Amino acid sequence: MTATIADSTVATVTHWIDNAPFAGSGERTAPVKNPATGAEIGRVALADVDDARAVIAAAAAAFPAWRDTSLAKRVEVLFRFRELLNARKGELAEIITAEHGKVHSDALGEIARGQEVVEVACGMPVLIKGGFTENASTGVDVHSVRQPLGPVGIISPFNFPAMVSMWFFPIAIAAGNTVVVKPSEKDPSATNWIAELWAEAGLPAGVFNVLHGDKVAVDELLTNPAIKGISFVGSTPIAQYVYATGTAAGKRVQALGGAKNHAVVLPDADLDLAADAMVNAGFGAAGERCMAISACVAVGDVADELVAKIVERAKTLTTGDGVKGSNADMGPLITREHCDRVTSYVAAGEAAGATIALDGRTVVAEGDDVADGFWLGPTLIDHVTPEMSVYTDEIFGPVLSVLRVESYEEALGLINSNPFGNGTAIFTNDGGAARRFQNEVEVGMVGINVPIPVPMAYYSFGGWKNSLFGDTHAHGAEGVHFFTRGKVVTSRWLDPSHGGLNLGFPTNS
């Protein structure tokens, strides 16, 4: 449902251009709701084509000067941004909790993981170094450099309003690109807060811009010739669309899609460790994580004991409003429609013959005025089989399915035949089995006795198969390569120049 700005009785989150809010000419808005209460707490502007072009034009205008700004000065701004974010991250966490619903501690964790990429980007002078060959031919030197692409677009999802865009923009900005971020219209305010922080850190106008909207805004980013690269995280169908449309328009595209992450529990595993991990990875952030474990594959005769341990632990979780100071472990789902969709999978699994070992549909949330919130408690479904929709589909909620298999080979076959290949984990005390698994499994990120194998920011994040479209993963070395392009220079100089005398201590400038 959309409305016009003239109809709005609450504050509207606007676009951001040249270090200032930009209302734009578009009249459409969408509601921003607190998922814990169901109340509308704001509206967000939905760009028309002219608005989108204005934001992109600001990024394009700022690019030449930012490209030519020295690495030393670029990194100086990155360091200031890092310090400001460390000092004020509590403010950002409160915004995330209010609009997304995840508990305050989880919001702080999201910011911390995003901050890791900022810290990696502070090392850009090392990451972007080229190579040099002296006297490759007589009197001829050859060197390589990496230069920024230009203005780039970042399209981020609702589930991590800060972290996912932070996978991309620190590297992009440090490498000399300008940025347009299109956040989810469901929880848009975190990105505007970040934009204000960049301005406070001294980032020049037009380097970091925010475009709010729906498909109109996305399509302009994908087709506008001023945008040279697109980074996207979201569902697989949209990732396919973004990749196809962006590449057809001649852009470099990295589009990270959906997931169906499995955790294999072998008979020799520490079942207490495995049960803890299943609860943490299955129900954290209400399961709205692309790295959430949604399929627990119990091998051999461990299933009964493992299921009992998971139920015992999950029953201790408190579901409620996740504001600062609350005792809630898990918050609501993002919208009423999404909550109803996730709940329908539980009913479908039960109708197909699975056993509901723990039913989150009856949860009573804690907090004030939460009766109209979008609640589903931790849900464990046992005796799931591969043809059930609760297994085949990405649910994106606090629903953990248990599949029972007889052997390692059967477990591996389940994972490798799945169309997704984002993350996986194995729980075992057998080093040989773990080593075999990490070699044979067809998934981009693997955990061994680690339930959510999100790599540190100096490694790259991304999956295989239908979980990634494009050849480049996020952040780390691959991220640096995505936001830069190589150039090789061959030179010959007949006579060295003489620069005269200067006894001052040399400095970067």
The residues annotated with a catalytic role in the active site are 290
- In angstroms, rounded to a whole number, what is the distance separating the alpha carbons of residues 443 and 396? 19
208 HSE (CA, 13 A, CB side) = 29
For tokens 């390692």, the residue is: 408
Long-range (24+ apart) CB contacts under 8 A made by 199-203 are 199/19, 200/84, 201/77, 201/80, 201/81, 201/84, 202/76, 202/77, 202/80, 203/19, 203/77, 203/81, 203/173
Angstrom distances, CA of residue 199 to CA of 18, 77, 177? 9, 10, 16
In this structure, the number of other CB atoms found within 10 A of the CB of residue 76 comes to 16
In this structure, the number of other CB atoms found within 10 A of the CB of residue 348 comes to 14
Indicate the Cα dihedral angle 360, 162, 452, 336, nearest 10°: 20
- In angstroms, rounded to a whole number, what is the distance separating the alpha carbons of residues 202 and 196? 10
Q: How is residue 393 annotated by DSSP?
A: S
Residues 446 and 462 sit within 8 Å (Cβ to Cβ): no
Residues 359 and 374 sit within 8 Å (Cβ to Cβ): no
For tokens 């697989």, the residue is: 236
> How open is the CA angle 72-85-231, to the nearest 5 degrees?
75
- Among residues 30, 32, 46, 53, which one has the least CA distance to residue 180? 53
Q: How is residue 326 annotated by DSSP?
A: -
